[in-house]
Structure 1
Amino acid sequence: MTDDDFTVTPYAVQGDVDYERVLDQFGADELTEAERERFPEPLHPLIKRGIFYGGRDVEAYLDAIDEDEQVSIVTGRGPSGPMHIGHVFPLYLAKYLQDRTGAHVYIPISDDEKYFAKDQDFDDIQGWAKDNITEIMAVGFDPEKTRIVVDSADADVIYPWAAKFAKRYTQSTVNATYGDPDNVGLSFYPAVQATHLLLPQLVHGRHRTIVPIAVDQDPHIRLCRDVAAKEDYDVHKPSALLSRFFPQLKGDGGKMSSSDQNPTIYLSDDRETVREKIQTYAFSGGQTSLEEHREKGGDPDVDVAYQLLYYFFEEDDAKVEELAAEYRSGELLTGELKNYAADKVSDFLEQHQERKAALGDFHEEISEYTLTDEERATLTEDLLY
């Protein structure tokens, strides 16, 4: 959608986003307090604090969990650069759900889409795909229940299904959803995305699937749900869990990105680099002088260091509330809040980096996450050869 004040599409996010208006325009539902409380205990901060704030058919997914039925999660990555902290929070949410429900997790790597959408060589995209997959494996998913599917490498199973789904899309529908595509690759990509989102059911049979994703990606889900409703295949329409955008360091309501010139915290950053970036670039909700800050206090609602903690990096609810209260009162200074946030982000990154360093040979590691021969046979059983 494009508003006078902001833009939210799968390929562009600009301005100070009105999240409630986005849900209304997309026709999605706000996540209720009752729904949040039904997620597995202990509630993840991303759920409890309303970072994931909207969705589609969330109740049906939670019902399946309550009935101890098989469930799945789909959350992907478009590899066009190094991964930053905003890329991984849906992945860590997926791991949390997998740990508590035994869910299958499918992680499509859309190297083809990034090649269509970005001014990069295909070899560069492939290099980033390998790098990004390594970061994903470092999250610590259960290899037996996790499948990483790369569009170019797994075209033999992706393309036949995408071709079937593509016939259900019209160019006018694609144009109305995404705008005029720059090339035929992007015109076709919604059919590939539908394959991604339905893949767990195509492999394991009809069951509930949820897609934790930033709200700008909801059009992919919406079109897939339309196709799933029309097809003769025995599948549920995938549920969606829609998040707010991870705050960019400079503030202003946009989302963190690795494809522009704004400062970003990457998964590879060391402690000193994280501290320097947060101290230098993180938008402050404090006052312009020490005396004024002590007198008037700061605003945690716009302070990016606080937002990083609230979104993901401080699990202790009491500590989050304490930091906000002390900042508002002027007792906690902006520099002190930034130092605390830098330490928490660095602690998280060091643990992630340790798991990444412990991985072995890439080809041996990725083989644990690829589709099995039996799963591939299920997906291709109707093919000519």
Structure 2
Amino acid sequence: MHDFTVTPYAVEGDVDYDRLLERFGADRLTDAQIADFPQPAHRLLRREVFYAGRDVDRFTAAATRDETVSVVTGRGPSGPMHLGHVYPFYFAKYLQEQTGAHVYIPLSDDEKYFAKDLTFDEIHEYTKENLRDILAVGFDPEKTRIIVDTEDADVVYPLAAEFAKELTPAAMEATYGTPPNVGLGFYPAVQATHLLLPQLVHGPHPTLVPIAVDQDPHVRVCRDIAAKQRHDVTKPAALLSKFLPRLGGGGGKMSTSDEAPGILLSDDRETVREKVAKHAYSGGRSDLDEHREHGGDPEVDVAYQLLFYFFEDDDAELERLADEYRSGELLSGELKEYAADRIADFLEAHQARRPEGPIAEVVDPYRLTDAERERLRPGVFG
């Protein structure tokens, strides 16, 4: 049995997603649950990239009744964004468009200072560029709020302090292990604040947190806090995704620090083609004649997997590619070219939507309003 590590701060080895569900206590999504989402179901749902969760039914039932719902999904700004970072945001946009959900997007610049060997100046430069990429997704500013922890500390910190009182050192160690510093030991209370903010602004309602499975401990801790709180809040629901594959294959998730690099949201078409051609693990045969005779394996081919996860929406086209690859009609290089062009098409459209101008101005429509802040931060001088 292969060993692997999945925590909010490290993912190593070939991940066994079923074993993770046993470890985390989440449930695999059923066909009926997927059918309860707005139809046609998003490709990330129907292809089981989002494959498990908790209390998902409460969110979909409320959305079906046109009741208030919200979605929370965030970003840790420790570097430039790559493909693996952005697809949860596009999924959140789909939910906003289909259900009218409020979307809250926290950027945990403080957590990255505690966890990474970076200065705040470096982290804040990444934060500014990450914000441009998040806004390029196209969220509705009337129903979207962006929170940056150090910029919105007047709201975040008092709530985090209140929630931290519900967390014991033993519970934190059982969930995260021993933190390397006091900052990371406190951060789960900040993350709980992120996940409960929509309810603290708009009143109790179902909140869905679509995240990669390595971030699930934060949701579990928040759910425990919500159960104990004097605030009128409900436990946030979790929707857990698999990792966008590394270009080099072998399990794990896409990263900019791998030998096989991640594909950045800033990459141009030629760079995408070079990265996919050089680094994407192939499920094809090493010999052309052998490939023509025996075919390739799309299940391990990273170019195909990238198409499967996000970059080919047409199920019939995806199946055609798989069939031709298995038969040997489609070569590995041809599949890589097809995938690279689809990814580049996506990136060019994304890059064209990146807002220009001073970051404070482009983000301002998405920040908490004065009335929302007053609701969240009654204090000594309030």
Q: Give the TM-score, by structure 1 length.
A: 0.98
> What letter corresponds to residue 366 of structure 1 in structure 2?
V
SS of 1:255's partner is coil
The residue correspondences of 1:1-385 to structure 2 (distance < 5 A) are 5-356=3-354, 358-385=355-382
CA distance in 1, matches of 2:281, 2:263: 14
Deviations 1:5-58 (CA, angstroms, capped at 9, x unpaired): 111111111111110110111000101111111111221100110000000100
SS of 1:266's partner is coil
Q: How far did 1:257 drift? A: 1.3
CA distance in 2, matches of 1:260, 1:301: 21
> What letter corresponds to residue 78 of structure 1 in structure 2?
G
Contact 1:159 1:192 in 2 (8 A): yes
SS of 1:39's partner is coil
CA distance in 1, matches of 2:36, 2:82: 30
Contact 1:201 1:207 in 2 (8 A): yes
- Any gaps of 5 or more consecutive residues in structure 2? none
- Kindly tell me: are residues 101 and 294 of structure 1, through their superposed partners in 2, closer, same or farther at Cα, counting changes over 3 Å? same
> What letter corresponds to residue 374 of structure 1 in structure 2?
A
Q: How far did 1:361 drift? A: 3.2
Q: How far did 1:383 drift? A: 4.4
Q: How far did 1:259 drift? A: 3.9
> What letter corresponds to residue 22 of structure 1 in structure 2?
L
CA distance in 2, matches of 1:72, 1:293: 48
> What letter corresponds to residue 273 of structure 2 in structure 1?
R
Contact 1:81 1:259 in 2 (8 A): no
SS of 1:235's partner is coil
- Any gaps of 5 or more consecutive residues in structure 1? none
CA distance in 1, matches of 2:257, 2:49: 23
Contact 2:199 2:205 in 1 (8 A): yes
Contact 1:143 1:368 in 2 (8 A): yes
CA distance in 2, matches of 1:297, 1:182: 49
SS of 2:167's partner is coil
Q: How far did 1:172 drift? A: 1.3
SS of 2:6's partner is strand
Deviations 1:284-307 (CA, angstroms, capped at 9, x unpaired): 000011100001000000000000
> What letter corresponds to residue 307 of structure 1 in structure 2?
Q
CA distance in 1, matches of 2:142, 2:164: 31
Contact 1:212 1:240 in 2 (8 A): yes
Aligned Cα root-mean-square deviation (Å): 1.0
SS of 1:73's partner is strand
CA distance in 1, matches of 2:24, 2:380: 36
The runs of at least 4 aligned residues of structure 1 exceeding 3 Å deviation read 259-262, 358-361, 382-385
SS of 2:353's partner is helix
> What letter corresponds to residue 190 of structure 1 in structure 2?
P
Q: How far did 1:258 drift? A: 2.4
CA distance in 2, matches of 1:353, 1:42: 27
> What letter corresponds to residue 119 of structure 1 in structure 2?
D
Contact 2:106 2:147 in 1 (8 A): yes
CA distance in 1, matches of 2:202, 2:44: 28
CA distance in 1, matches of 2:117, 2:169: 23
Task: Select between 156-165 and 4-13 the one with higher mean Cα deviation.
Answer: 4-13
SS of 2:366's partner is coil
CA distance in 1, matches of 2:7, 2:147: 24
- Share of identical aligned residues, percent? 66
Deviations 1:348-369 (CA, angstroms, capped at 9, x unpaired): 000000001x544322111011
> What letter corresponds to residue 369 of structure 1 in structure 2?
Y
Q: How far did 1:370 drift? A: 0.4
> What letter corresponds to residue 353 of structure 2 in structure 1?
R
User: How many aligned residue pairs are there?
Assistant: 382
